[in-house]
């Protein structure tokens, strides 16, 4: 049925729409009345009407390994396993030899970022090897040395039980702490 008059076409459309909504409402009322008389009807309807969610429709991934003893052995031998088991790293933070006040301020701010971090002032006589030995004796997991160029912190070296990294070229964001 093709109605050319726009106003009449809208009237017919809205009339059909309200009739459908009323029929749907009457069906729901009748169903509610039947379910109030027989509660098992409602239980069976709810058991059948399970919505299709992401969890329901997810297919099992066969690449995920379940209870494999070989995988458990590898995880126990993993050098980073203690970080994933919930033990927090114990960090020793220090500066380069004869550091400026800006570097010390940055080091104190850096220590406040990590819960188990300690700052130790490094004297001119302590070499890196000696600092690493001290960190191992005191059971620190990481040693971070903050270096500076032209009295501004520029680089920090991270010595961990299994790796060494040098991070440089970072910049402070606006509004964050900057000792310069």
What is the domain partition of the chain in residue ranges?
A: 6-53, 81-167
Q: What is the pLDDT of residue 177?
A: 47
Please tell me the predicted confidence (pLDDT) of residue 9: 95
Q: What angle do CA 130, 136, 141 make, to 5 degrees?
A: 125
- How far apart are alpha carbons 100 and 93 in whole angstroms? 15
| SS3 state at 138 | coil
- What single string gives the DSSP state of each residue in 28-89? HHHHHHHHHH-HHHHHHHHHH-----HHHHPPPPTTS--S-HHHHHHHHH-TTHHHHTTPPP
- 81-167: what CATH class? alpha beta
Model pTM greater than 0.75? Answer: no
Condensed to tens digits (0 to 9), the pLDDT of residues 58-102 reads: 888 777 777 778 877 877 777 666 666 667 778 888 888 888 887
Instruction: Tell me whether strands 164-168 and 117-119 are parallel, antiparallel or unpaired.
Output: unpaired
Residue with tokens 């009457």: 26
Kind and range of the H or E run holding 13: helix 6-37
Tens of pLDDT, residues 154-179: 777 787 765 556 666 555 554 444 44
Dihedral pair phi/psi, residue 10, rounded to 5°: -65, -40
């Amino acid at each position: 049925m093709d109605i050319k008059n726009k106003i009449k076409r809208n009237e017919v459309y809205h009339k059909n729409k309200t009739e459908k909504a009323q029929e749907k409402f009457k069906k729901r009322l009748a169903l509610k009345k039947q379910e109030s008389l027989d509660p098992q009807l409602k239980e069976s309807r709810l058991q059948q009407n399970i919505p299709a969610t992401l969890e329901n429709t997810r297919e099992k991934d066969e690449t995920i390994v379940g209870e494999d003893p070989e995988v458990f052995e590898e995880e126990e031998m993993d050098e980073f396993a203690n970080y994933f088991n919930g033990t927090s790293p114990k960090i020793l933070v220090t500066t380069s030899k004869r550091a400026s006040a800006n570097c010390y301020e940055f080091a104190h701010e850096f220590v406040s970022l990590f819960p188990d971090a300690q700052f130790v002032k490094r004297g001119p006589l302590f070499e890196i090897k000696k600092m690493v030995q001290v960190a191992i004796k005191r059971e620190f997991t990481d040693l971070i040395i903050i270096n500076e160029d032209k009295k501004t912190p520029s680089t920090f070296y991270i010595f961990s039980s299994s790796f060494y990294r040098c991070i440089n070229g970072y910049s402070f964001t606006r509004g964050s702490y900057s000792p310069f």
